[in-house]
């Protein structure tokens, strides 16, 4: 349950209301329009800006930055399906996860090596091959033959 408390309005941050700056006002989607394109309350405004049937004004809610869900910030609205962008095709499926990282250790590391058929991150590969006591430069040389072939 979302608990919303009405706060005092901050001058200059109200949306949907003509500002005092001559010739400009701010619309709910934060674009700037000139006075030549007047706001039509209840008609062309987003749903949250329209009059609430219960009689309450939702103007404050729509102005709250954590309640807005816009497409203009480059991200998808919370909970939107990943294919919500029309015409967008996924081009990457993410990194290959390390199969050696587990409970009690760092997890989610990117796998970069293959040892005995398992994809391992650098730390796990070093442990698996027994290279813990080697210097960093020696580890690089000795791990290179176990690097993943990225196009396999």
* SS3 label, residue 140: helix
58 interacts with other proteins by CB under 8 A: no
Query: Least distance in Å: CB of 134 to other proteins?
Result: 7
- Among residues 114, 122, 123, 124, the one that binds other proteins under rule CB under 8 A: 114
150 interacts with other proteins by CB under 8 A: yes
128 interacts with other proteins by CB under 8 A: yes
- The owner of tokens 């967008």 is 88
Which string of DSSP letters, residue by residue, matches 33-89? Answer: EETTS---TTTTS-GGGSPPTTS---HHHHH-TTT---STTSSPPTT--TT-STT--
110 interacts with other proteins by CB under 8 A: no
- Under DSSP, the state recorded for 8 is P
Query: Least distance in Å: CB of 150 to other proteins?
Result: 5
| CB closer to other proteins out of 50 and 139 | 139
φ, ψ of residue 127 to 5 degrees: the values are -70, -40
Q: What distance in Å separates the CA atoms of residue 123 and residue 145, rounded to the nearest whole number?
A: 16
Number of residues located near other proteins, criterion CB under 8 A: 21
129 interacts with other proteins by CB under 8 A: yes
Contact residues: other proteins, CB under 8 A = 114-117, 128-131, 134, 138, 141-142, 144-152
């Amino acid at each position: 349950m979302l608990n919303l408390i009405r706060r005092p309005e901050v001058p200059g941050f109200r949306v949907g209301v003509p500002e005092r700056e001559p010739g400009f006002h701010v619309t709910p989607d934060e674009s700037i329009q000139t006075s030549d394109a007047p706001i039509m309350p209840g008609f062309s405004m987003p749903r949250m800006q329209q009059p609430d049937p219960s009689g309450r004004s939702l103007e404050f809610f729509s102005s709250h930055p954590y309640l807005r869900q816009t497409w203009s910030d480059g991200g998808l609205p919370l909970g939107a399906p990943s294919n919500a962008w029309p015409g967008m095709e996924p081009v990457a499926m993410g990194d290959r996860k390390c199969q050696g990282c587990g409970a009690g250790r760092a997890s989610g590391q990117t796998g970069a090596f293959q040892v005995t058929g398992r994809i391992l991150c650098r730390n796990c590969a070093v442990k698996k091959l027994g290279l813990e006591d080697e210097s960093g430069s020696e580890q690089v040389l000795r791990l290179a033959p176990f690097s993943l072939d990225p196009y396999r």
